[in-house]
Structure 1
Amino acid sequence: MLVLARTQWQLIVRSPGLFAVLLVTPLYSVVFFSLVRHHRGATAATAVALTAFGMSMWSHAVFVASRVVDDDRIEGTLEYSLLTPATYLVSLVFRVTVSSALSLPVLGEVLLVGRLFGLPTRLADPLFCLLVAVILVIGTAGAALLVSGLLVLVRAARTMQNTLTYPFYLLGGLTLPVSWLPPPFRWVADCFFLSHGFQLLRDAAAGDLDAPAARLGVLLTLTVAQVAVGVLMLRRVLRSARSGAVPLHH
Structure 2
Amino acid sequence: MSALRVMWSAVLLQVALSRRRPEHALILLIAPMQTTTMLALAVTTHRQDVVANAVIAPGLIGLWVAALDYAGRVVREDRWAGRFSALIAAPVPLGLVVAGRVATVVLVGAAAFVESWLVAALGFGRVLTVADPGPFAVAITATCLATVGTATLISAVFVMSRAGDVLQNSLSYPFYILGGVLVPVTVLPGWLHPFSRAVFLSWSADLLRDTVHGDAHGWPRSVAVILGLGAAAMAAGLWLTRHYVDRARRDGTVGFA
TM-score, length basis structure 1: 0.91
Structure-2 separation of matches of 1:93 and 1:194: 19
| Offset from partner CA, 1:185-207 (integer Å, 9 cap, x none) | 32122232221122111111111
Report the equivalent of 1:21.
27
Report the equivalent of 2:208.
201
Kindly state the Cα deviation for residue 100 of structure 1 after the two structures are TM-superposed: 1.1
Report the equivalent of 1:48.
54
The 1:45/1:163 distance shift into structure 2, 3 A limit, reads same
Aligned length: 250
The 1:50/1:86 distance shift into structure 2, 3 A limit, reads same
| Offset from partner CA, 1:125-166 (integer Å, 9 cap, x none) | 233212211211221222222221222212221133121111
RMSD: 2.1
Report the equivalent of 1:69.
75
For 1:133-152, list aligned pairs within 5 A: 133-152=140-159
Report the equivalent of 1:104.
110
CA contact under 8 A between 1:46 and 1:111: conserved in structure 2?
no
2:247 to 226, 229, 240: 240
CA contact under 8 A between 1:82 and 1:242: conserved in structure 2?
no
User: Structure 2: 5+ residue runs without aligned partners?
Assistant: none
User: Structure 1: 5+ residue runs without aligned partners?
Assistant: none
The 1:157/1:206 distance shift into structure 2, 3 A limit, reads same
Query: Are 1:187 and 2:194 counterparts?
Result: yes
The 4+ residue runs of structure 1 with deviation greater than 3 A are 2-5, 84-87, 180-184, 245-250
TM-score, length basis structure 2: 0.88
The 1:4/1:147 distance shift into structure 2, 3 A limit, reads closer
1:79 to 78, 85, 91: 85
Deviates more, 1:100-109 or 1:116-125: 116-125
Structure-2 separation of matches of 1:109 and 1:234: 33
